[in-house]
Amino acid sequence: MILYPAIDIKGGKCVRLSQGDFAQVTTYSEDPLKVAKRWKAEGAQWLHIVDLDGARMGLPNTANLEVLRQIIRQVGLPVQFGGGARSAEIVERLLNIGVARVVVGTALAKDSTLAEGLFTAYGEKVAVGVDAKDGFVAIQGWVEAIGEQANVFVARMAKLGAKRFIFTDIARDGMLQGVNLISLAQVAAAVPGLPVIASGGVAGANDLDGLKSMQATSVRNLEGVIVGKALYANTITLPDALARLR
C-alpha cells in the first residue's frame, strides 16, 4: 500500500485544517519545501499536496503554485496535487509544470461532459476526489453538498471512464479520530477493480494496521492512504508508517 504524506499549503505555509474548516488552521511550517525534503529523506515515494486557497477560491493560488514548482524541481518525488483544478486548461497547466496526478472533485461532480473529457484525455493522470460529509459528496472546498451519495457518485464517474479515486471523510479529516472504514469499504465496493486511496482520520499505527488488514481480506482495490496530521502531531513517524504498510 502506498503512503502519501500530505502537505497542505495555505498562504505559502504548510498547515492543517480540522474538518476542512478554514477557521481551524494550525501552521506546522513556514517552508513547505523543507517539509517535502524531510518526507523524502524519511522514505516517502509520493507526496500529496493540496492548495487550500485554490480549493476555496476555485482557481490555483499563484504563490502556492510557485511553492509547488519548487517542490517538484528540488525534491524529485512524484506529486499528487489538488485544489482549484476545475477545468481542462488548469489540469493541463498542472501536468505541464510536472504534477504526476491531478485530483479533481468539484468540476467532475458538476459537469459530466468535462469529466468524461478529462478521463479520456488524461487517463491515469487524473484522480477523482470524493469528499463526503455524512455519506454525501461535498464540493467547493467542502462547503456545498450536492445531494449525491459517495458510492453512487464514484459508480457514475467509473462509467464515464475514471481510473482512480481518493475518498475523504470530511468529519474525520484532521481530527485524529480514526478512519471511517465502513464508508471507505462502501465506496471501494462501488468501483471494484479500480484503485481507491483512503484519506482522513489516520491517527496512528492502529489505523494503518486496520487499512492493511482490510486490503488483505476484503477491500482488494484499496491502493493507498494519505496521512497528514498524524505525521505533524508525531502520533506516528513516517518510517514506522511505511514499514507497517509494506
Q: Which residues are catalytic?
A: 8, 131
d(CA 16, CA 175): 10
Distances in Å between the Cα of 69 and the Cα atoms of 15, 75, 76, 98 are 18, 10, 11, 8
The alpha carbons of the chain give a radius of gyration, in whole angstroms, of: 16
d(CA 55, CA 64): 11
* Distance, first Cα to last Cα, the chain: 7
Q: How many CA atoms lie within 13 A of 190 on its CB side?
A: 22
Burial 88-122 (b: 16+ CB within 10 A, else e): bebbeebbeeebbbbbbbbbbbeeeebbbebbeeb
d(CA 209, CA 213): 6
